Amino acid sequence: MRKKGLFFALMMAGGLFAACDSSTVGVNNQGDNMKDSTCGLGCKVAVDSIVRVGEGPIWDYKFNRLLWIDTQGSLMIYTPSDGKNREIKLPKMIGTVVPYLEDTVVVGLEDGIYELALSSGALKFLCDPEGREAGNRYNDGKCDENGHLWIGSMDKDCTPLKASFFRVDSNGSGRKVLGEVTISNGVAWSLDGKTMYYQDTPTRKVSAFDFDVEAGEISNRREVISLPEDLGTPDGNTIDAEGMLWVANWGAACVTRWNPQTGELLQRIDVPALNVTAMAFGGENLDELYITTASLYMPDSCAAQYPEAGKMFVVKPGVKGVKSNYWKQER
């Protein structure tokens, strides 16, 4: 687990916890810069249990289920049809999960990339492209349309610029594509697959790369979205069917929708948890936005204000998502 003192120091330096001392939490103060404020659009509880750091939701559309995690060591499988949420305890921290087969998913655990059998909990090691000498753990990641996993890392103590970003191929080989990262997060693609969106959380910025689909290469990095201080820092992200980018706002109790072509803030949905971690479109029509949150790493002064922090929420934002990519998927 990350050392709380150092983690708090890094996040305080980023201004993440200032919101609890302000009366502006949950209030739209973006003025004319926002086209559609949906602060009154209510989030409902999807899973009525509190986890420590909910993360990584992804809709497994082939089997109508939502895969998500508690980074502290659990994989969850939520089925909206019956409201059941199954938990698989893991022996290590987990950073991401991506769908593969009915009984198999791929996970990024703290020490490597594994296949996980859902029926038995058995793990099959695939690779560790970073190596344990780095002292980091794997964090957020997603697959591209060719089934390659793009996954980043972070130091457990959040040491700046110590982590990296990797591409893991379907044969299990992996290589570093980006270095000097602090907290690798948020991987998504434009609708045409030619642009990758990526976030190094403490920078408060969303980067875009040119993405070569066939070669699986990124180039031409540029910053396309910059979050103001009152919107915290960007954690997870996802793309919608209109090509707009959704960002989970850690430290700001909301998710936001942006135009990645212009950097314009389009929409904000308040969430009853200070630290919002990630979101994914799901449901049979991909019109439900599932939002994960954290109960850890929240100042004591905020606990009474956010008693449901750590739960997973759902809202219908008025736009649909797109189908997720699978590990080793066939085009």
pLDDT, one tens digit per residue, over 43-67 is 999 999 999 999 999 999 999 999 9
Which pLDDT score, from 0 to 100, does residue 27 have?
A: 34
Residue 110 lies inside a defined structural domain of this protein: yes
Contact 41, 303 (CB under 8 A): no
Residue 320 lies inside a defined structural domain of this protein: no
Whole-angstrom Cα distance, residue 289 to residue 287? 7
Looking at every residue in the chain, the average pLDDT score rounds to 89
Residue 120 lies inside a defined structural domain of this protein: yes
Q: Is the pLDDT of residue 21 over 90?
A: no
Domain that holds residue 225: 4-315
Residue 324 lies inside a defined structural domain of this protein: no
Residue 252 lies inside a defined structural domain of this protein: yes
Which pLDDT tens digit goes with each residue over 102-138? 999 999 999 999 999 999 999 999 999 999 888 999 9
DSSP string, 48-97: -S--SBEEEEEEETTTTEEEEEETTTEEEEEETTTTEEEEEE-SS-EEEE
Q: Is the pLDDT of residue 1 over 50?
A: no
- What number of other Cβ atoms are within 10 A of residue 86's Cβ? 11
Sheet holding 184-189, edge to edge: 184-189, 195-200, 205-212, 217-226
Which pLDDT score, from 0 to 100, does residue 171 have?
A: 86
Contact 90, 77 (CB under 8 A): no
Which pLDDT score, from 0 to 100, does residue 41 have?
A: 66
Whole-angstrom Cα distance, residue 150 to residue 239? 16
Q: Which residues pair with 321 in a beta bridge?
A: 240
Radius of gyration of the chain (CA): 18
Residue 322 lies inside a defined structural domain of this protein: no
| Of 182-186, 298-302, 309-313, the least confident | 298-302
Contact 266, 244 (CB under 8 A): yes
Which pLDDT score, from 0 to 100, does residue 180 have?
A: 97
Which pLDDT score, from 0 to 100, does residue 42 have?
A: 83
List the Cα angle 266/208/55 in 5-degree steps. Answer: 70
Residue 153 lies inside a defined structural domain of this protein: yes
**In CATH, what number is assigned to the domain containing residue 283?**
2.120.10.30
Residue 173 lies inside a defined structural domain of this protein: yes
Number of domains in the chain: 1
Q: Is the pLDDT of residue 17 over 60?
A: no
| Of 79-83, 171-175, 205-209, the least confident | 171-175
Which pLDDT tens digit goes with each residue over 142-162? 999 999 999 999 998 899 999
